Amino acid sequence: MFDLDVVQLSRLQFGLTAMYHFLFVPLTLGLSLLLAIMESVYVMTGRVIWKQMTKFWGILFGINFAMGVATGITLEFQFGTNWAYYSHYVGDIFGSLLAIEGMMAFFLEATFIGLFFFGWDKLSKVGHLVATWMVAIGSNFSALWILIANGWMQNPVGSAFNPDTMRMELTSFYEIFFNPVAQSKVIHTVSACYITGAVFVLSVSAYYLLKKRHIEFAKRSMTVAASFGLAAALSVVVLGDESGYTASQNQKMKLAAIEAMWEREPAPAGFSVFGFPDISQHKTHYEVKVPWVLGIIATRSLDQEIPGIMELVKDAEVRIQSGLIAYQALKDLRLDKNNPQARQLFNEHSKDLGYALLLKRFHEPIIGASMDQIKQAATSTVPNVSPLFWSFRIMVGIGLFLIAFFAVAFYLSAKRRLDAHPLFLKMAVVILPLPWIAIELGWFVAEHGRQPWAIEGILPTFCAASALDVGPVWFTLTGFVIFYTTLAVVDVFLMKKYIKLGPDKALLK
């Protein structure tokens, strides 16, 4: 581990800080909408218990919101410190999306969150409800723009490389916003966050019912969480299916790696439920498949084959050779920007320029690379198969389990028997960590599955990093891990403190 270079350390730092940050974001998003729903019921019915529910869950929301802000700010700074060339190369596009997120979303929720906490006695019922909904909308807008930015990294539509400025430039904001990868990612990820909020409320409420405390408060909270969570869980599955389809169109290597699919899969492709991928033999041992499922999800058909890893590596070799033509044409244009032949060659092969840049790891200058080095570069487009394979299956398994669990919770709430089954309540408490595990694994699949690309097919990750010494990156990485771990411990401590106090005592604090 101590032999890591600057690129690997920068990736590790960004990955760890992102994972830490995403411990807090899902609960913030999930609770924000639940608070708005609970207060809406209070305004419509006038029943004080719904106000009490909004206030209590709001305290836990506030703790988590503060932690999310503290961990999120450093993520954006890293684009300038650790990923300076990335910022230079795609800053016109990526930076604009982050700016919109800050202006439209973060300021909105930051403004109204103060009114939510301190405006109970200063605003009318409807006025305070509006503030609560604005916090929820702001939180969701923030997720929207961040995920659109991430979706563009996975499928860089609405943009083009300008050989005169040597940067990626925006060509269509409409295409970026309605990027199919981004749209499916937004709903899939946000729904997963809603599940996290629902499980949290369900688990804490089940704890109260087991302790015979705050019975009416807990029952009503569980009823809201059960219906909200079931709807969110079903949405995750539907949009997970859509994510599989968009991956088959735009990220074929990621899909093949997730499935440990080494060779072309005949139609209709089966889904691997179990197996042990072996990258050295290009084989998956003890593989168990469900027929047709992958073909239906990934191709929306029963007659379309899906390319495997080895075939996609061959395709990458062809694209690298095409990219070399674009690279040479770009060098010629740098000498004479009015060279018509060079510009024509570049325009014909520019879509493969990023593939040529993969050679920088194996041969400098890249012009003159041998066929063996081209094959090495093509092989580097294969992400680490085994972690992707198992992470995806654990995530899916948790998702299916949560659908079943929420279905039971919804049934019991409809029958008004939530407190009649102690085993169900104990299980509700035990499953509390599951949504976080699934979400972290989902982010790992999305981001690690994109490697070796910072921008899919455009910019290799190792090209995006800043020119730093190893020492400063180790220092900041260590500092972030210590600081974020401390914040996580503080978050858990404060959450436990207020949960144990319960709504009656917590609201007196």
Cα 343 from chain centroid? 38
Q: Is residue 289 part of a domain?
A: no
Q: Per-residue pLDDT tens for 5-48? A: 899 999 999 999 999 998 999 999 999 999 999 999 999 999 99
First-last CA distance in the chain: 46
In the chain, how many domains are there? 1
Q: What is the pTM of this model?
A: 0.93
Alpha carbons 248 and 449: distance in angstroms, whole number: 13
pLDDT band per the 50, 70, 90 thresholds, residue 506: low
Q: Per-residue pLDDT tens for 114-125? A: 999 999 999 999
Positive or negative, the Cα torsion across 348, 354, 360, 361? negative
Say whether pLDDT at 508 is over 60. Answer: no
Say whether pLDDT at 3 is over 80. Answer: no
Q: Is residue 239 part of a domain?
A: yes
Of 155, 164, 322, the residue nearest 243 (C-alpha) = 155
Q: Is residue 277 part of a domain?
A: no
Q: Is residue 308 part of a domain?
A: no
In contact, 424 and 122? CB cutoff 8 Å: no
Q: Per-residue pLDDT tens for 142-197? A: 999 999 999 999 999 999 999 999 999 999 999 999 999 998 889 899 999 999 99
- Arithmetic mean of pLDDT, 103-108: 82
- Arithmetic mean of pLDDT, 245-274: 89
Say whether pLDDT at 65 is over 70. Answer: yes
- Arithmetic mean of pLDDT, 244-257: 87
- Would you state the pLDDT for residue 1? 43
Percent of the chain clearing pLDDT 90 (strictly above): 74
Strand partners, 429: none
pLDDT band per the 50, 70, 90 thresholds, residue 73: confident
| CA distance readout (Å), 221 to 94, 116, 375, 417 | 39, 19, 58, 14
Q: Per-residue pLDDT tens for 356-377? A: 999 999 988 999 999 999 999 9
Residue range(s) defining the domain that contains residue 187 = 6-254+382-497
User: What is residue 465's three-state secondary structure?
Assistant: coil
In contact, 437 and 443? CB cutoff 8 Å: no
- Arithmetic mean of pLDDT, 430-450: 94
Run of H or E residues at 509: none
Alpha carbons 152 and 301: distance in angstroms, whole number: 26
Average pLDDT, the chain: 92
- Would you state the pLDDT for residue 244? 78
Alpha carbons 403 and 338: distance in angstroms, whole number: 61
Q: Is residue 409 part of a domain?
A: yes
In contact, 256 and 308? CB cutoff 8 Å: yes
Angle at the Cα of 233 from the Cα atoms of 232 and 238, rounded to 5 degrees: 95
Positive or negative, the Cα torsion across 480, 485, 486, 488? positive
Q: Is residue 363 part of a domain?
A: no
pLDDT band per the 50, 70, 90 thresholds, residue 507: low
Strand partners, 290: 271
- Arithmetic mean of pLDDT, 346-350: 95
Of 331, 319, 450, 451, the residue nearest 374 (C-alpha) = 319
Alpha carbons 297 and 457: distance in angstroms, whole number: 23
- Would you state the pLDDT for residue 329? 95
Strand partners, 162: 167
| Residue 37 in tokens | 């729903």
Phi, psi of 161 (to 5 degrees): -80, 130
**Burial class of 91 by CB neighbour count within 10 A (0 to 12, 13 to 18, 19+):** middle
Q: Which residues of 119-155 are buried (b: 16+ CB within 10 A; e: fewer)?
A: eeeeeeeeebbbbbbbbbbbbbbbbbbbbbbbbbbbb
Other Cβ atoms less than 10 A from the Cβ of 278: the count is 14
pLDDT band per the 50, 70, 90 thresholds, residue 299: confident
Say whether pLDDT at 444 is over 70. Answer: yes
Say which DSSP state 271 is in. E
Torsion-angle region of 46 (φ positive above 0: left; ψ -120 to 50: alpha; else: beta): left
In contact, 461 and 82? CB cutoff 8 Å: no
Q: Is residue 287 part of a domain?
A: no
Other Cβ atoms less than 10 A from the Cβ of 400: the count is 12
- Arithmetic mean of pLDDT, 283-294: 89
- Would you state the pLDDT for residue 2? 52
Q: Is residue 259 part of a domain?
A: no
Which of 68-72, 134-138, 166-170, 447-451 has the least mean pLDDT?
A: 68-72
Q: Per-residue pLDDT tens for 87-101? A: 999 998 999 998 898
- Arithmetic mean of pLDDT, 480-486: 91
